[in-house]
Structure 1
Amino acid sequence: MTGAGATAGAGAVATGGAALLLLVAGSAAVAGAARRTGISAALLLVTVGLAVSYIPGVPGYRLDPHLVLPFVLPPLLHTEALDSSYLGLRANLRPVALLSVGYVLFATALIGTAAYLLIPGLPLAAALVLGAVVAPSDAVAATAIARRVGLPARMVTILQGESLLNDATAITAYRVALAAAVGTSIGWLHGIGDFLRAAVGGVGVGLVLMVPLHWLRIRLTRLREPLLQNTLSLLIPFVAYAAAERAGASGVLAVVVVGLYLGHHSFQVDFATRLQEAAVWKMVAFILESAVFALIGLQLRVVVKGLGHHSLPQAAGYALVLLTVLILSRFVWTFPATYLPRRLFRRVREADPAPTWTTPFVISWAGMRGVVSLAVAFSIPLTTQSGGQFPSRDLLLFLAFSCVIGTLVLQGFTLPAVVRRLDLPQRDLRRETLIEAQAQSEASQAAEERLERRLTEPGNALPSPLADRLRTVLERRRNAVWERLGGVSEVTGESADATYRRLAQEMIGAEREVFVRLRDERRIDDEMLRTLLRRLDLEEAAAERPEP
């Protein structure tokens, strides 16, 4: 490369790096503002992205499916899987499977047929490509909004389980439809075989990887290497995804299977690893989610520019019809899927009585689409196997974008109001606290019995003050949850537990100020300061109770 060429290349890299930093910083700032205002971060980011996309001088961001699918989707799915409940998903396997597999295939066929009948000259295979693109609900938006509006725990589990698994169904269906559209498929029967192979293979790769990966985590735990442990944790979703894709299977399913297994067995790693891992994945998820939803909004200018010979009013008319079909398709599927199995099978009816109509209604309305749909849409090739242009590719991109934005804005903004209007049963926080208190009481009793037994052994003799301190700490943990069930102070409105934690934090803050002053006076050095502050940080973390 010549000197001028090298300079130009370096300038392009610098420009790209600046654009990336601007995207991350801007999306993080908007997401932070959303947290302070109570607005859904996903919705605010999309809205701001839409507005910013037409500001002069804003870089032209473009979703690259070669980056989003292998590098953004795996960590987001892994984070969701780690926070999911394997037991909860197993208990709700029927509704989750009906939504994540049955509904996605139904929506693919329905949207594809509607697009084929609506748009003149659009081949059926290309229309089914669009159907597969917009069929899956988003893995982040639905569950984030569901938790924020306080949906019942089972409903959140179903939505989360659906969003974890439906991407695999949609991506596999997309590949089958795309093969037919570009002329590389040898028949729909072969496509169905590819679909089953990808699904079974993805689960199989996950099952093969999960045990050795967990063994390696445990091994690093025994070596007291939390930094290496967390480095491994960051690599796991990419390894699982790449291994499955390399084998021609579903990388999404492999990531989910591994994440569910590791999350279910997370108690077997040490506390330092768990604390660091939770902090690391929260940061990764926050950055990726913020950037992804901002990118969705920023695509408006790119997509409208690419409409080509299709007029904007004509394309908008198609988009409105398909958005309506997409929203209604979820109602058409969810209500029969909720009540028909109970009507046909007595075992299902007896084990799981039918809910009121509000449950399938809210699940239907919570079907927002997201970045996976757009990333897959942008991966539609420019040409077919014969060398001709892919049929109406520019229009398909616009329609996919319109469906994503339409569901995020329309359903996302109105879901809290719908939940309030339907007066759904809220979480029984008092009952949850009572269950927590009973569990803590049983655990404390077992710990107390072990403590007294160990203290009688010669090798465990302790001075009375230290033994009493252990008993006091144990008693504090036993009583803390029960105190939350009690009354509150007439002066502060706090429970005794909240007052205790506030005063403990004030005491720790006073100690921290002294340590810093001693460092500034050169009476202790920075290394000792860090040691003392870490000790206080751990005590403050122990005193802090996370919000339910």
Structure 2
Amino acid sequence: MAFFESMLTLLLVAIVFLQFSRKFRIPYPTMLAIAGIIVAAVPWAPNVAIDPQLALALLIAPVLFDAAYDLPPRTLKRNWLPLVSLAGIAVILTAAAVAAVGVTIAGLPLAAAIALGAIVAPPDAAAATAMLDRFDLPRQTYVILKGESLLNDAVALLIFSAAVAAVANPAFFTGVLAELTLAVPGGIILGYLLGRLYMVVGLKLAGTLGGTLLEFVATFGTWVIAERLHLSAILAIVAYAMVIARYMPERQTARHRIHSYSVWEAAVFLLNVLAFLLMGLQVRQIVLDLEPGRLNFAIILATAVFVTVIAVRLAWVLLYNRVVTVLAARGSTRQAAPSFATSLIAGWCGMRGLVTLATALALPIDFPDRDIILLSALAVVLGTLVVQGLTLGPLIRFLNFDPDTSLDRDLTRTRIALIDAALAELHGLDKSTRILRDVYTSEREIAADGKHPREVSKLDKQRRRVIVAKRRKLAAMRRSDEIDDDVFHILEQELDWAELAVLPPGRDEIVES
């Protein structure tokens, strides 16, 4: 009960803090980090532990699914060089540098030091995109930073799994490496097959509460099955999500998609809250149990790790900028050279978050120096979220990027194509379609001017006005007991969908804060 009360307290504090996040343009994970520490610091906070394997399945599987769903393979192919640079090389370099710090300063065993490096290596996409969504950045930079989130998680988690296995199994280089060699392709194949199976079963339950529950059961089930078969659960989730993202949306109804997306956003946000609370509670107990000398030693290590993760990412991204610029000038690569400003932003978007917290919690209880590793992980999360999270917005404003209108142009072109398709469908029909043809012709003219038709369409404005009047009448009939609640809710839902159909894009969106 004490844990549940702490969870409710954190949710309440998070809700209050998120209002500051929205008003002052602060990434919401930064506010969650502060809220988690506040709740964990209260005298009555409970001592809570979570099973390490459960931590990975519960906290990582949905996040990986969410990231993989938004990253189609063609994006990977088109931006392979910067993505490999950020998600592969940067993560490996960071893990190696932190491991060196752990061995040199703390005398950690090599495998434990590598595990620490893998824990703090991957930046958190939610922290970055929560801020980047509020600014006009070059479209390519935004796409790459979002795409990085999936790959760096996968790379870091694979390194982490290998390091933990090396601690548990002295014969690592014979048995475990052979097992990982089979686990990687096996996980991809399993994820693909389970994704295809979900499409068959999921479509039959689409639009139902059971279908919503199945989304979570199938995602967690994919992770569990992969673990039981000793395959890579990480790559299984990635392959599973990519299959669904590729084939499922066009087979879903609008209602199912909207409902599914909103539920997943809420679930991932709740997992962020849970991760910050669990980490805060565990670190609180570690701090209370540590002797003063070892606590000071842990603080020194945490500070060194924090500086290392920032310095390595920034140095590598700026070095990559120079190398690609030289190669592009010589014609040795087709990849466009990033500007110094975009590279600086990419290097500074290194906030750590949920993946780092969850991976740290997944350390076995008897893992060597687990206490100081957890403290270092939390220090990196708090430090990057506060230092980088609070300065990213001012840095973007200082660099003053030129507006990127490529997305608006693509939207305008696509809208015109869709309206042309609608007009072609109506061509040659009887005179009763004339009014509808006039509406589409008017919308085409509006779209050609670079505006969205529903923003200026008089017909849609009238429809919204009529819906407001219907809502008032429906509420009055309910208050006067002319209708029962079941009738009210059915008609209320119909009005909701009718209103959604005539609202301009961006209105009434579900947002993080």
Range class of TM-score, shorter chain = 0.7 to 0.9
Gaps of 5+ in 1: 1-13, 384-389, 457-462, 487-494
Q: Residue in 2 aligned with 1:459?
A: none
Q: Secondary structure at the match of 1:122?
A: coil
Equivalent residues in 2 for 1:31-430, closer than 5 Å: 31-32=18-19, 34-60=21-47, 65-119=52-106, 121-182=107-168, 184-188=169-173, 192-220=177-205, 225-265=207-247, 266-297=249-280, 299-308=282-291, 310-340=293-323, 343=326, 349-383=332-366, 390-428=367-405
- Aligned mates of 1:480, 1:256 — CA distance in 2: 40
Q: Which amino acid in structure 2 is aligned with residue 282 of structure 1?
A: E
Q: Which amino acid in structure 2 is aligned with residue 136 of structure 1?
A: P
Equivalent residues in 2 for 1:512-527, closer than 5 Å: 512-527=471-486
* Alpha-carbon offset, residue 352 of structure 1: 1.7
- Aligned mates of 2:342, 2:24 — CA distance in 1: 28
Q: Secondary structure at the match of 1:354?
A: coil
* Alpha-carbon offset, residue 306 of structure 1: 4.2
Distance 1:393 1:272, change over 3 A: closer
- Aligned mates of 1:343, 1:502 — CA distance in 2: 54
- Aligned mates of 2:213, 2:282 — CA distance in 1: 33
* 1:441 aligns to 2:416 (yes or no): yes
- Aligned mates of 1:151, 1:44 — CA distance in 2: 23
- Aligned mates of 2:228, 2:443 — CA distance in 1: 49
Query: Which string of whole-angstrom CA distances, capped at 9 and with x for unpartnered residues, describes residues 161-203 of structure 1?
Result: 2211222222221232233334x13244655545444433332
* TM-score normalized by the length of structure 1: 0.82
- Aligned mates of 2:274, 2:9 — CA distance in 1: 10
Query: Which string of whole-angstrom CA distances, capped at 9 and with x for unpartnered residues, describes residues 70-114 of structure 1?
Result: 112222222233334443233112222332232222222221112
Q: Residue in 1 aligned with 2:510?
A: none
* Alpha-carbon offset, residue 43 of structure 1: 0.7
Give the RMSD, CA atoms, in angstroms: 3.2
* Alpha-carbon offset, residue 370 of structure 1: 1.7
Contact 1:63/1:375, CA 8 A, preserved across alignment = no
Distance 1:152 1:249, change over 3 A: farther
Q: Residue in 1 aligned with 2:503?
A: 544
Distance 1:528 1:404, change over 3 A: closer
* Alpha-carbon offset, residue 339 of structure 1: 4.5
Q: Secondary structure at the match of 2:171?
A: coil
- Aligned mates of 1:536, 1:368 — CA distance in 2: 41
Q: Which is further off, 29-38 or 134-143?
A: 29-38
Distance 1:290 1:90, change over 3 A: farther
Contact 1:133/1:376, CA 8 A, preserved across alignment = yes
Gaps of 5+ in 2: 508-513
Q: Secondary structure at the match of 1:53?
A: helix
Q: Which is further off, 411-420 or 169-178?
A: 169-178
Distance 1:537 1:496, change over 3 A: closer
- Aligned mates of 2:446, 2:269 — CA distance in 1: 31
Distance 1:434 1:325, change over 3 A: closer
Q: Residue in 2 aligned with 1:489?
A: none
- Aligned mates of 1:299, 1:506 — CA distance in 2: 53
Bigger Rg over Cα: 1
Query: Which string of whole-angstrom CA distances, capped at 9 and with x for unpartnered residues, describes residues 9-37 of structure 1?
Result: xxxxx444434344444434433553355
* Alpha-carbon offset, residue 241 of structure 1: 1.6
* 1:471 aligns to 2:471 (yes or no): no
- Aligned mates of 2:52, 2:11 — CA distance in 1: 18
Distance 1:122 1:281, change over 3 A: closer
The number of residues matched between the two structures is: 506
Query: Which string of whole-angstrom CA distances, capped at 9 and with x for unpartnered residues, describes residues 110-154 of structure 1?
Result: 2111221122x4322322221122112224222322323343222
- Aligned mates of 2:3, 2:305 — CA distance in 1: 35
Q: Which has the higher contact order (CA 8 A, sep 6+)?
A: 2
Distance 1:270 1:483, change over 3 A: same
* Alpha-carbon offset, residue 382 of structure 1: 4.1
* Alpha-carbon offset, residue 290 of structure 1: 3.6
Distance 1:346 1:35, change over 3 A: closer
Contact 2:83/2:147, CA 8 A, preserved across alignment = yes
* Alpha-carbon offset, residue 521 of structure 1: 3.5
Q: Residue in 1 aligned with 2:489?
A: 530
- Aligned mates of 2:403, 2:280 — CA distance in 1: 32
Q: Secondary structure at the match of 2:123?
A: coil
- Aligned mates of 1:348, 1:259 — CA distance in 2: 36
* Alpha-carbon offset, residue 413 of structure 1: 1.3
Q: Which is further off, 444-453 or 533-542?
A: 444-453
Distance 1:194 1:480, change over 3 A: farther
Q: Secondary structure at the match of 1:530?
A: helix
* 1:30 aligns to 2:17 (yes or no): yes
- Aligned mates of 1:51, 1:523 — CA distance in 2: 50
Q: Which amino acid in structure 2 is aligned with residue 229 of structure 1?
A: G
Distance 1:44 1:130, change over 3 A: same
* TM-score normalized by the length of structure 2: 0.87
Q: Secondary structure at the match of 1:45?
A: helix
Contact 1:173/1:195, CA 8 A, preserved across alignment = no
Equivalent residues in 2 for 1:445-464, closer than 5 Å: 445-453=420-428, 455=429, 464=432
Equivalent residues in 2 for 1:492-507, closer than 5 Å: 497=456, 504-507=463-466
Distance 1:218 1:49, change over 3 A: closer
- Aligned mates of 1:174, 1:496 — CA distance in 2: 50
Q: Secondary structure at the match of 2:427?
A: helix
Distance 1:482 1:284, change over 3 A: farther
Q: Which amino acid in structure 2 is aligned with residue 116 of structure 1?
A: V
Query: Which string of whole-angstrom CA distances, capped at 9 and with x for unpartnered residues, describes residues 395-421 of structure 1?
Result: 222222212221121111111122222
Aligned-residue sequence identity (percent) comes to: 29
